[in-house]
Amino acid sequence: MLPWTTYDALSAAATDQPETFWLKAARRITWEQAPLSTCRARADGWHDWFPDATLNTCHNAVDRHVEAGRGEQAALIWHSCATKERQSVTYRMLQSRVAGFAGGLRALGVQKGDRVLIAMPGMIETVVAMLACARIGAVHVVVFAGYAGPELARRIEDVTPKVVIIASCSFQRQTVIPSAPVLHEALAIAAHRPQACIIVQRDACPAVLLPMRDHDFHALERSAPVAPVMLRAQDPLYILHTSGTTGRSKGVVRDNGGHAVALALSMDLIYGCKAGETFFTTSDLGWVVGHSYGVYAPLISGCTSVIVEGSVSASALRTLCHDHDVRCLFTTPTQMRLIRQESRHLSCANLPALARVFVAGEYADPTLLDWARSHFQKPVVNHWWQTETGWSITTHFFGLPEQESASLMNEIGRPAPGFRPAIVRSRPDEPCGEIVLSLPLPPGCLAGMWKEGGIRAPATCLDETGQYYRTFDEGMIDDDHVIHMRGRSDDVIKVAGRRISGVQIEKIIAMEAGVHSCAVIAVPDGLRGERPVAYVVLETGFNIAPSAEKIIRQVHQVLGRWVGLREVRFVERLPTTVSGKIIRKALTLTSETKETRQGSVQTVLS
């Protein structure tokens, strides 16, 4: 039972007595040497969490649950959206596979602190490899399995891994993509050469193993098992490259101790999910949500985690939730829009175990959230995240007995414990500005950036005083601590000196029936400096579709004519990052050549 009944009590405990708060939170973790102190400044200006403590994250995620009698409980349930295979692995099986594979890595010369690059789709083996690294103190670097040779080479050069692990193929929908040619190309380009490559052989397209270089994953799993090694809380657990939403891709380093504490607390406090219950995230394991809520948080908490390979269809999602009594579902607005598109005749109302649905990663308009609430007949909320923070900065707290107001449910919520946001306004009379976070950041956030072979303080994320972490997101904070998000700072449009975020306009367009998704960008305007242009994707097979005139009228009615929306472009699709987020900058660059619906660009003058 959590000791707080209201958000205000929780917030006061974390703010007024952070030392007591985090030492209590740390009791959820099994330590070799329990922490006596919480946060310590480092010589490089950043900070370490629980610097006097030692633990092993893999022990916390696997072994301790077997010791506590959960050995026969499913730890992982895997579904491939491409091959339709499904597998379930108990905690006892996971322990045996992870301990064996850790022994295999050791036999290949992998030591504590060495990097192991894992370029695999969402598979059980990906989790086994991650946990095996954690077991021996190696630092895993999971990268998106769909990268082409040069992208993979860049990451190999950045982290200089001792070993690279791939699956023999991945899938793009149902199409088999062999991975060996990509690996060969990457290794031919990269200046760094790993000592060995490990390949998970898949029936759809087994690879030819190169003698002296390649090893079979499943054979290595049968190596002599090794026990978890004890690590300092601040030792690195993993490096994860950002998707590029928050600037140029960079390697975020996560520690062991702070990460375990923050994630364990969040499962109870935020997601209301307890040991023995099932958590399902649709995110790729190569992104932060896949790391935190596909793998570490559910396993550290003794839950069952459902993971998927590929983009899950509405019917597969329903079946997985139903068959595995999913308690909490975590997905993205993009995935939710796809589910909406497919789900006209499919109800998700009869899922008795499902308690709530979370989305994150990009703006979710209230219309989408309302649709999801009626579809699942459960609370659906959005919360705000960055790869750098590792868990939600602002969120909703289903572990607290206090009920949130309906209006709050459409916002990204209130700060999670230890996050202390402030607004930096560009004009004193404006309520909105860049959201910055007071340092130190809470446990679970970045332990630094990976640069030139080591962990460095994240200087590029700090403001000029060195006191604040810059999120580069815009918003405002209201009197109830609720953050109202306006999108990335560079997505703000300045019309005749007045600022409006693209998200504010998108929110109104998304409410029009027949709109699947939309993005608003700024283009130069001779008179007013900038003006917005809207890109709209319509739902397929929907009879009613709004006209450009109707959209413009609606936006002006809600926000005022000063907004100056004159142009609506109907397009087939919006450009997205590999993690599925809309890239507005790409629209700016390609807006003249973008493929349009039925070849038409509708431009309307107001």
Residue numbers at the binding site for ligand AMP (CB under 6 A): 242-243, 245-246, 288, 360-363, 382-387, 412, 471, 473, 485, 488
400: left (phi over 0), alpha (psi -120 to 50) or beta: beta
Q: Are 518 and 535 in contact (CB under 8 A)?
A: yes
User: How far from 285 is each of 22, 78, 143, 184, 588, CA to CA, in Å?
Assistant: 28, 12, 9, 23, 30
Query: Of 82 and 412, which CB lies nearer to ligand AMP in the complex structure?
Result: 412
Query: Of 80 and 282, which CB lies nearer to ligand AMP in the complex structure?
Result: 282
Query: Of 78 and 363, which CB lies nearer to ligand AMP in the complex structure?
Result: 363
Query: Of 132 and 393, which CB lies nearer to ligand AMP in the complex structure?
Result: 393
Q: Are 447 and 255 in contact (CB under 8 A)?
A: yes
Query: Of 383 and 414, which CB lies nearer to ligand AMP in the complex structure?
Result: 383
Residue 206 C-beta: closest distance to ligand AMP, Å: 33
Residue 242 C-beta: closest distance to ligand AMP, Å: 5
H or E stretch including 255? strand 251-255
Closest residue to ligand AMP using C-beta atoms? 387
Q: How far is CA 35 from the centre of its chain?
A: 28
Query: Of 49 and 384, which CB lies nearer to ligand AMP in the complex structure?
Result: 384
Residue with tokens 């657990």: 237
Residue 211 C-beta: closest distance to ligand AMP, Å: 39
Q: Are 514 and 547 in contact (CB under 8 A)?
A: no
What 3-state DSSP class applies to 585? helix
Give the pair of three-digit tokens for residue 385.
């995240």
Query: Of 179 and 579, which CB lies nearer to ligand AMP in the complex structure?
Result: 579
Residue 581 C-beta: closest distance to ligand AMP, Å: 7
Residue 338 C-beta: closest distance to ligand AMP, Å: 17
User: How far from 46 is each of 1, 333, 445, CA to CA, in Å?
Assistant: 33, 33, 11
Residue 409 C-beta: closest distance to ligand AMP, Å: 13
Query: Of 104 and 333, which CB lies nearer to ligand AMP in the complex structure?
Result: 333
Residue 472 C-beta: closest distance to ligand AMP, Å: 6
Q: For 51-70, b where at least 16 C-beta lie within 10 A, e where not — what string?
A: bbbbbbbbbbbbbbbbeeeb
What 3-state DSSP class applies to 24? helix
Residue with tokens 């895993």: 140
Residue 395 C-beta: closest distance to ligand AMP, Å: 9
Residue with tokens 């200046």: 191
